[in-house]
Structure 1
Amino acid sequence: MVGDPPVLDAALQPGVGWSAGGLHLAEAVSMGVIVYLVGLFLRSPKLAPLVPWLVGFLMCAAIALLGTTTGGSEDPARQFGPAVVSGKIGFLWVYLQAPMVGPTIAAAVLNRAHRRHAVFTHRHCGTHADGSALRRAG
């Protein structure tokens, strides 16, 4: 055994100067933008197939742009374990709450702004809106 592992290094923390409020806002807005854009794409039959690419791009962008300053990874599960094991739980509540608050607000705004559009999520599951298969097995 080489020694105690540097668990502290795995715990993500915000950069210098971040308050809990500022951190919460940044994390909530970043996830809110992702959810809003995904919801917008799912409302268009032409854009819905691009959702996996959109999510990958937006998650990479959020992590690259915010990860080095806010410490956020856009994934509450990623934050939880290292923070608890290392004892660095000061900002844990922000990392757990903000990724839920931002998307909830974004979904409410999206639903209010685009009430009459159908959402094509069933197509990603391989079914029509009525649940029947998109392709017949031959």
Structure 2
Amino acid sequence: MAKIAIGSIHEVTKPDCIQALVVEFIATFLFIFAGVGAAMTTEKLVGNEVVGLFFVAMAHALVVAVMISAGFRISGGHLNPAVTLGLCVGGHITVVRSVLYWIDQLLASVAACALLSYLTGGLATPVHTLAIGMDSLQGVIMEIVLTFSLLFTVYATLVDPKKGFLDGLGPLLVGLVVGANIMAAGAFSGASMNPARSFGPALVSSDWTDHWVYWVGPLIGGGLAGFMYENFFIVRTHVAIANDEF
């Protein structure tokens, strides 16, 4: 069974940690900028809701795939506190570095949304909220399932040492599952799967409606998927180094 590594506060002074935090900030910033920007564009230009949802889903799929690829070697390209938690549960990143990543991701999200608001003349950054008729419990369960599928894909295509023919396709496949989940559930829960993706728009727009759902659901789903895949599906011939990114 994977052991969670606590790590040390001194990690923050290590060059590799500083480098990872810078890259994680940049990758998350660019992800949020494109994702939220796509949502703002659909509200401004598109009248057909189905077309708008597809546009947003594809934008997220593409930018997730590219930013994971861009940040993978240095920071792991998490872009998402739920991904970081899922990997921490599996022993792939220390608790201390996970907290640093969370702060980094949230700051990047706020910065990207603030810049978008400024560049668009003060347009509101669309927030994730539950659809009419969906209660909080339904929203949490929806986000748990969506984020579980995301982390399950991350582990299967990026973490598992026995990837087989999937080796090298991980970032693209993770991006595709994000896009598919947005198409499937975007009209219901918003399909966040990412607390940072929800936090920036909420803070900049000062709209916290249903916001807690987008922390509880993704973190439960991500942590559960990381624990399950690491402990039941991965077969290792050596002990994983806890502070290595996946």
- TM > 0.5: yes
TM-score, normalisation: structure 1: 0.70
Please tell me whether residue 48 in structure 1 is matched to residue 167 in structure 2: yes
* CA deviations over 1:33-54 (Å, ceiling 9, x no partner): 1111221233224223111111
Q: 1:77 to 1:45 in 2, by over 3 A?
A: closer
CA drift of 1:111 comes to: 2.0
Q: Which ranges of structure 2 fall in alignment gaps of 5 or more residues? A: 1-120, 239-243
Aligned match of 1:78: 197
CA drift of 1:5 comes to: 4.5
What root-mean-square deviation, in Å, do the aligned CA atoms of Structure 1 and Structure 2 show?
2.7
Aligned length: 118
Larger-Rg structure: 1
Aligned match of 1:24: 140
Which of 87, 91, 101 in structure 1 is aligned with 2:210?
91
Identity %: 26
Secondary structure (helix, strand or coil) at the match of 2:231 reads: helix
Q: 1:82 to 1:48 in 2, by over 3 A?
A: same
Q: Distance in 2 between matches of 1:57 and 1:118?
A: 30
Secondary structure (helix, strand or coil) at the match of 2:223 reads: helix
Q: Distance in 1 between matches of 2:185 and 2:127?
A: 16
Aligned match of 1:63: 182
Q: Which amino acid aligns with 2:182?
A: I
CA drift of 1:118 comes to: 6.2
* CA deviations over 1:114-135 (Å, ceiling 9, x no partner): 242469xxxxx9xxxxxxxxxx
TM-score, normalisation: structure 2: 0.42
Please tell me whether residue 11 in structure 1 is matched to residue 89 in structure 2: no
Query: Does the CA-based 8 Å contact 2:147-2:222 persist in structure 1?
Result: yes
Q: Which amino acid aligns with 1:106?
A: A
Secondary structure (helix, strand or coil) at the match of 1:34 reads: helix
Secondary structure (helix, strand or coil) at the match of 1:10 reads: coil
* CA deviations over 1:56-91 (Å, ceiling 9, x no partner): 110111112111211233332232233234443131
CA drift of 1:13 comes to: 1.2
Q: Which amino acid aligns with 1:74?
A: M
Q: 1:38 to 1:85 in 2, by over 3 A?
A: closer
Aligned match of 2:230: 111
Q: Which amino acid aligns with 1:88?
A: D
Query: Does the CA-based 8 Å contact 1:34-1:58 persist in structure 2?
Result: yes
Q: Distance in 2 between matches of 1:118 and 1:93?
A: 40
Query: Does the CA-based 8 Å contact 2:147-2:193 persist in structure 1?
Result: yes
Q: Which ranges of structure 1 fall in alignment gaps of 5 or more residues? A: 120-124, 126-138
CA drift of 1:102 comes to: 0.5
CA drift of 1:10 comes to: 1.4
Query: Does the CA-based 8 Å contact 2:156-2:163 persist in structure 1?
Result: no
Query: Does the CA-based 8 Å contact 2:154-2:170 persist in structure 1?
Result: yes
